[in-house]
Every structure is written in C-alpha cells, then in structure tokens.
Structure 1
C-alpha cells in the first residue's frame, strides 16, 4: 500500500516513578528506582482523519551514558532533554511526511544537536525513538490495523534513506514476508546481585511478596529455559559467579540456553577472550558453555569498534548492544567480526527493522536479538514484544516483571484495563496484575491482533505527572 503522509501535533510528555522490588545490578550501576516516561501525540492525515498514539519507556541510568561522573539524576535529565529536543523538532516542522519520513528527516539533526549539548548519539536517539512509537500507534489506529499487518504492508514508508547499504535490497518483500512469533520464550536476566539458590537466601532477607526472589525460584515458578547472565569484567570473579549459576541451572533445567552480557565491562577483546577460554577449561562450566548462544557487548563502547573480535566470534558469536548508537554501526561492527546486534525499542523501532533486513541480506551467519531495558508492564513491554515478535524472534530478554512488581504504582483501574484487554499476557495475583509466564513463554495473540501498536488499553493519563523540563548542563561535569 502507499504509505500515507501526515502532520504530528500535540506531543505531551508525562512521568511515573518506578520503584524496584529488589536491586538490579548491571555493569557499573545498581538500580533501585527510576522514572518511566509516557508519550502522547496526535497524527492528522491530509484528508482530516486523526488519531492519538502513545508509548512508554523507563529512563534507565548508566546504560545510555555510563560516564561515572554523572549521577543518576543527571542521566534522567539527559533523557528528558532528548525528549524535549525531539518534541520541538517534530512539532516545529509542519511538513507532511510518512512515519519513517518524519523519523529520517530529523535523525541526523537531533544527533548533532545532542552532541552540542553533551548527549551521545544513544541518548539523542531516545527521544525520537519514543515519539516514533507513538506515531506508529496513532497511524495504525487511523487505519484500524495491528502493528504487524501495518509493517508487512509498509504503512510506515520505511526505505533505505538512513541505510544506503540496503539501497539494492528489496525492503518491501522483506517486510511483506515477516512471520510473527505468536509465543515467545522469556530469557531471564540474572543480575550481578541476584540471589541464586533458595537455600542461600536467609529467611530474614526475604521480601515475602509472593514472587520468586532467586534464580532457582524463578525457574520453578515460571518454567524458564532461557537465561541472560551478567558478567562484570573480572575473570576470576566472573568465573566464581558463573560456577554458582551453573550449579543451579544444571540441576534445575533440562535443557537450557543462555547469553552472556558483558555490559561493556571488559577493556578489550583480549579480556573477554580470556574469560571465554577460562570458562572452556572449567569442568563445572562444561554444560553452561555449551548453552551459550552469544556474548553481548563485552567491550566498552569507546574502543569496541576499534578492535577485531573475529577470533572470539568464530568460537561464540559476539554482538553489539550499547555501541549501536546509529544506523551505520552494524556494517562497521560486521567488518570487525561481530555477528549480531540487539533490538531494543528504546534505540528505535526502525533501526531494529532495518538491522533485521541487513541480517537477511548478509546471510544466516548474522542475527538480531531481543534485549530488555527493564520494560515495564503496559505499553512499554507490549510494544517491545510486538517488535521482536514481528521480527520472528523466538526468545527475548525480559526482566521488568522480576525487578518491578507488576504495574508498580499504576492505579488499580489501569491494571485491570490492561488485564481485560490482554488476558493472555497478564494474570491477576491477589490485588496485583502481572505478566503471565507459562512454561517459560509469553502468549502474544492479543497484542499482535490489537489495532494500534500492540495495545487495546492505555495508561490512566490523569494519574501521571507532567515531565519536568530538563536541567541538564554539559558543563556540570566537563
């Protein structure tokens, strides 16, 4: 179908505080709380038809920018500034464009603007990534189409403007041929502070909230068989932690598969290669090593795209995550031996789709993975799930449901609305609504069939606070 053109207006930004039920240690940060941002906007076609669209995402500190000189509050201010920049750019331009056209028209300008404000390209992409999702939602609602159907028909007008290496690739055929996954396996994150075995968790340290607290408890409660294991950049300490994890998984799960997430904690390719070699030499890790699907972004981003990893990738695939700051990264990473790249809605729906197209163009050796950034119940997790399902992925990292209790502080009526609209994805447990994981899987029929971008419910906008203006000043730490 011909992709429609339209104007964007009435962009509103809101927040809700999110408190974790247990600390989540990844890389250099231990996360206990963070704001979740909500976006609402309006799309108006040339014929006057109009609809509102929405999106949501957690503001995760020390992932987009890991500068240790920045506080968590400064990281939040960076992401607010990215959103403000995107809102200003999208509303100031009255040109009617396709959905992808709006995104492409502002992408490089916003990255350059962010650079001048002390925002790296990953931070600068955060704001437009959320606005693009809300635009997609509104456009699908105008046409009464679910996201996947709209994507297959290229309602969004996706082209190779930002990916000239795909100029000769048949994007229309690629999109039309997408076969969504209707059930997807949860790849459970094991944070660096997470308790592992039930016997090791003292009674006086338990939360007692009825949810699993240990790796062993999660396996039992949800029937998990996919895992994402965080490592910290010190070979000896990582080996010790992996032995303890293997001891739980080897006696609990048959079979299982896992990924290793380096979170940029190794200084160079030699460091992560040393960890892999040491793991191969440990009898206690034999089964765990055989389960590893890939290693995710082990090298700090400042040097990750300066060193070849082809030697290690020949043994176990290595993928890019935090280094995926722009549309030209994956081809550059490929030349260094990286075999894959992550899909995250916080980095951009279109970037994930075009990177998936590259994987098809390059051959089976290359792949895209689904990774979480503590996606919260409701819009955030549903839109992320719809994206990875559309790309045909069979498992995805999910951790929001483990570190946050269901919908967190969302009003009871909002929780019930999402449960009523998506009874296959959620369940009621006492007075809470939570993700429903059965035999390690999530059922996706209701979000894939819902007109709009993966949701037949919406947040209680009256219960949200307006997002405050950013006070980020690049001179604070520089």
Structure 2
C-alpha cells in the first residue's frame, strides 16, 4: 500500500447558485419548491510544489438538518452557510501538512464544538466538513493524477479505524477489497404529494418529462423504489394501496424501502403501520418487496428506543439520527441494523460505517448490518457524481436518486457547462428536452466514466456564474 501523501491546504472558497424545482416535493414537514446549491473549492499543495484545486457540491435542504418549525427555509439556508464558514475557518487555521483524512480528524472536534456553540446540532454541523473533505480529496486526486476509486482502495487519504469497533480489523485490506461496478440501480422516491396516476394530477407541468409515478415507471423502468409515509396509518395505507396498484403491474420483481421521515414517536407506532400493511390484501406483494424501514422515529427519541423488543418484520435504518461519527454504534446497541450513506453527512463517515458493517457481520457470522444509499437532493454535476461514486465504491447496488425528477436537469446552467459534463460523462448524461440530464435506462445509471482523475468528475462547474459566500481565501 502506498503511503498517504501529506499536503498543505492553501485556500477554500465557498459559492452558491439557485435551484428551482419543476414540481414541488414534500418530505417530512416541508414542501420544497426551490433551494440554493452550495459549492466548495479547495486548493492543496504537495511538498514538491505540485498543487491542484478540487471541488464539491451539495443542495441546501431546509428542514432536514434542523427540523425546528420556528425556523424559516431562509433561516435553514443561513445555518448551512454558517457551518460552511465555520468549517472553512477550522480547516485553514492550521497550515501544517496532513493527509486528507488527517485534515478531517484534526479539525473534527474543534469544528463540532464551534458549531454547537452557535446552537447547531451535530447533523447540521457535519454539512460543512462534508463538503470541504470532498473538495480536498478531489484536489489530492487531481494533483496525483488518480481516480477516487484508486485513491480510496490504496488508502491515499490515510484512513484507519481509530475506534474500538476496529480492534484487530484489517482496515487497509477492507479498502483494497472494495470493487466498484459500472452501473447502479436508481431507487425512485415517491414523495408524500407526488401524483401516482394522471387522475391525481389536475394541473400538469407539461414540459414533456414524466410527472406521475406511472409515467416515471414507463420512462425509466425502475425496479427499486422508496415510499414515504406520513405517520397517519389510515392515510398511509390508502396511499400505499394506490402505489401498489401501479408497482404490482410489473411482471418482474421490484424492491422498495419505507421511509418514516421521523413521523413516529415510538416503535409501537411503527408497528401499527406494519401490521396494517401486513393485514391488507392489496398490499401483500408490496410488503414482500419491502427491504428495510428508514428512520421512522423522531431523531430526539430514536436512539433511546430499543427496537429489539419489537418485531417490525424488516430491518430498520437510521438516517437523520446519524449526526455523529459513533451514531451507528449507538444505534446498533438499540436494535438498528443499518445506516444511510449520504455525502452531505460526510463520506468518511460512510466508509467508516461500511467497515463497521464488515467487522460486525464477521463477528456475528451473518449479513445483518448494512448501509443503504439515500439522497434525493443531489443535482446533476459534482453532487450526484460524487455521491454515486461513494456508494458504488461501497458495493451498494441501488441508490435513492430523485433530484433528476424534481429539477429539470442542468437547464438553468450555462450551456458550455452542460456540454462539458456531457462530454466528460457520456454514459451518465444525455441531452434531451432542451437540457443535459441524468440518463436512466431499465432503471439503471451507467457510471463507468466516474473512474476518471479526480473525485468522480472529468468536468468542473462554472464558478464565475455563481455567488460567492463570504470572502475568498
């Protein structure tokens, strides 16, 4: 294994630009119609003088990192800008050389304390380093002329377990054993206000792209789905019946997850929904197709509830409760079997959690523990590419992917930027309906081109077309 290179971090720049949705999306307590997308640029310098810029991108999702109803969407956006500024200050506070993972580890605790001092919860605080770390690793990959996959499998980031969970665990061997594929299934999310059939949609967007679940299935051929429930058992069962009426038309098997979006306060509440679904004749095939249940219990209670005393019939995954590096360790002790991977929570956390799954499964002699891939907000370009590359590296064969459904591809971006991404990734994108957009065929996304130099992107966005956040370094 090559030694992890050390480097100095010379600059971090923050940008944003607006994103408008082509149709509203409701998750949890918010119905989203627009939100900014954040971009981070970072420049590193190796001891021999070689340097490079790297970048990362992420949507600012309101009411996900902090679900305080007293805060407006604009308040949430301001919070996210602030944690980015805090991360920028932390990472630039020490110019001493470090590895990529070493830079994360060096500043993790100080950044978390600074964020907590301003009233930000751990999940919200993680947004800043999550972007900076990816931009830094992108810069390192570009400086060394290697891909993200090569960098991680050869541990050029300098990762180790650093936790009792990994005592006696061959972390380097785990990384070397990761084998990315050339395609991945897109798991389509059905939101709480999404139209299921044409009859549910009196007003049309009318842009030629699919709008209802029926049309999505016809256009993209998905075989994996994510179904959101709202906490009202009767209403949830009725909606699931409508969804099943569409999905059950497929002759091939399909698989789905149930996303509780923190709408329950107890395991008993979730059990009530599960029993209602199991008892409904119209939902038998759908229930047999459910792979797992995602974060049904509110984050303030989730890690206090012991699921081992309640048979929910399917494994349960934490998502919003995964705010800290050790959250999955706590969740395991309470009967949770899985944790979501999201680049907005930190890609190092995902890799550490994947290693935990490998160690725990070996310890128990089963395949009980797993990562799911969740993120419907990633936009075409850096955000979706880096998230796809991460979950692909970890061997996850399907990923929640819905940013392409709610946003009209790259239509709002400069045409030259669109063409640059299409040229660099002709398997991933297509030019249709007046814009470059994600290409999905038979429910799958081709991702072979992500094995390029840098963190999964052969093109970079047009930073001159963005608004800077705070001063440039």
Note whether the superposition's TM-score is higher than 0.5. Answer: yes
Alignment of 1:36-51 (within 5 A): 36-51=37-52
Q: 2:324 aligns with which of 326, 329, 346?
A: 326
What is residue 455 of structure 2 aligned with on the other side?
Answer: 453
What is residue 255 of structure 1 aligned with on the other side?
Answer: 253
Instruction: State the 1:241 CA deviation.
Output: 0.9
Q: Is the 8 A contact 1:37 1:467 kept in 2?
A: no
What is residue 128 of structure 1 aligned with on the other side?
Answer: 129
Q: Is the 8 A contact 1:146 1:451 kept in 2?
A: yes
Instruction: Give TM-score, length-normalised by structure 2.
Output: 0.97
What is residue 146 of structure 1 aligned with on the other side?
Answer: 147
Instruction: State the 1:10 CA deviation.
Output: 1.6
Alignment of 1:157-172 (within 5 A): 157-161=158-162, 163-172=163-172
Question: Does 2:357 correspond to 1:353?
Answer: no
Q: Deviations over 1:23-74 (max 9, x none)?
A: 0000000011000001111011111111100000000000000011111111
List gaps (5 residues or longer) in structure 2.
362-366
- d(CA) in 2 for partners of 1:254 and 1:194? 24
User: Alpha carbon RMSD of aligned pairs, Å?
Assistant: 1.1
Instruction: State the 1:310 CA deviation.
Output: 2.2
Which SS does the other structure have where 1:155 is aligned? coil
- d(CA) in 1 for partners of 2:173 and 2:26? 42
Q: Number of aligned residue pairs: give it.
A: 465
- d(CA) in 1 for partners of 2:312 and 2:239? 25
What is residue 54 of structure 1 aligned with on the other side?
Answer: 55
Alignment of 1:335-414 (within 5 A): 335-363=333-361, 364-414=367-417
What is residue 32 of structure 1 aligned with on the other side?
Answer: 33
- d(CA) in 2 for partners of 1:164 and 1:134? 29
Q: Is the 8 A contact 1:344 1:373 kept in 2?
A: no
What is residue 474 of structure 1 aligned with on the other side?
Answer: none
- d(CA) in 1 for partners of 2:312 and 2:33? 38
Q: Is the 8 A contact 1:59 1:76 kept in 2?
A: yes
What is residue 209 of structure 1 aligned with on the other side?
Answer: 207
Instruction: State the 1:322 CA deviation.
Output: 0.4
Q: Is the 8 A contact 2:241 2:283 kept in 1?
A: yes
- d(CA) in 1 for partners of 2:251 and 2:15? 42
Q: Is the 8 A contact 1:98 1:156 kept in 2?
A: yes
- d(CA) in 2 for partners of 1:338 and 1:254? 30
Instruction: State the 1:254 CA deviation.
Output: 2.5
Q: Which moved more, 1:236-245 or 1:336-345?
A: 236-245
Q: Deviations over 1:357-384 (max 9, x none)?
A: 0111111110001001410000000000
- d(CA) in 1 for partners of 2:349 and 2:178? 16
Instruction: Give TM-score, length-normalised by structure 1.
Output: 0.96
List gaps (5 residues or longer) in structure 1.
470-478
Instruction: State the 1:199 CA deviation.
Output: 3.7
Q: Is the 8 A contact 2:268 2:310 kept in 1?
A: no
